[in-house]
Structure 1
């Protein structure tokens, strides 16, 4: 191991290593014990977005309303910024029959929403055919902060 001009140890990439940073150059790993605690303690604090502009910050139930809405609007596996567990698979129903889609919507929404640890339950109240290509889903999402009503349109075909 090399030393910097200040007498501090350096790794092979010439990065200065402090003894209290949890880095063991022999193992080339970082101590992640603190990271697990941080994940459990993360608040729901998020930015309030209105008309495409950030207006303020909010927490708890209003933040969960936004989180649920965002999950319902985000297609899974499309955006590399999100993990493969974030979002929904509802666009996979495009081209499927109404009877098949009605059965699959419940499963797909449960899979998408219940992946968030703050969401404890999902109840679908109704799935109605809105027109020849669209289903309209209504339900309630139970979170640790309260109830969040959900409404979502699911397109099964072209509207042309």
Structure 2
């Protein structure tokens, strides 16, 4: 395998000097400074059994992103922004009624922080044991719907 096989080329790498100058002079006529989804790559690595196996894009990449957001505690890992991840650890040790309501809100908030997520519909938050909640729903993304099936422990004896 050549070293060139490991190079990832993005759209920015293929811009010639003339088009780069034109991009710098573009005027934002609608007052919206946000990038469009076309400008945001979704290409990521396909992980199987903890190993990188291939690359995936669009919906498969979003499935991975949703799962990662639901598994990552917010404000713990310095490589992520303060908007990435969830706050589900905050409901550990809380009353089950409170935990049900907050778990739904926290999952919606965590997923909606990703610009590719359009809507989050939580269908059910069920108590499966005295200290575990099961959350089922759908994450609507620009690439399609992704099922949410997650468990949250509220046990404070860990």
The TM tier, using the shorter chain, reads 0.7 to 0.9
Matches within 5 A, 1:27-66: 41-66=39-64
> Which structure shows the bigger proportion of residues in helix conformation?
2
Where in structure 1 are there 5+ consecutive unaligned residues?
Answer: 1-19, 21-30
In structure 2, runs of 5+ residues without a counterpart are 1-16, 18-23, 27-33
- Over 3 Å counting, the alpha-carbon distance change for 1:126 and 1:41 in structure 2 is same
- Among residues 116, 119, 128, which one is paired with 1:130 in the alignment? 128
Q: Pick the structure with greater CA Rg.
A: 1
The answer to whether 1:75 aligns with 2:77 is no
| Pairing partner for 2:83 from 77, 82, 85 | 85
TM-score normalized with structure 1 length: 0.74
Output the TM-score relative to the length of structure 2.
0.75
Contact 1:133 1:159 in 2 (8 A): no
Query: How many residue pairs align between the two structures?
Result: 128
Asked if residue 143 in structure 1 is aligned to residue 135 in structure 2, the reply is no
> Structure 1 residue runs of 4+, over 3 Å off?
36-40
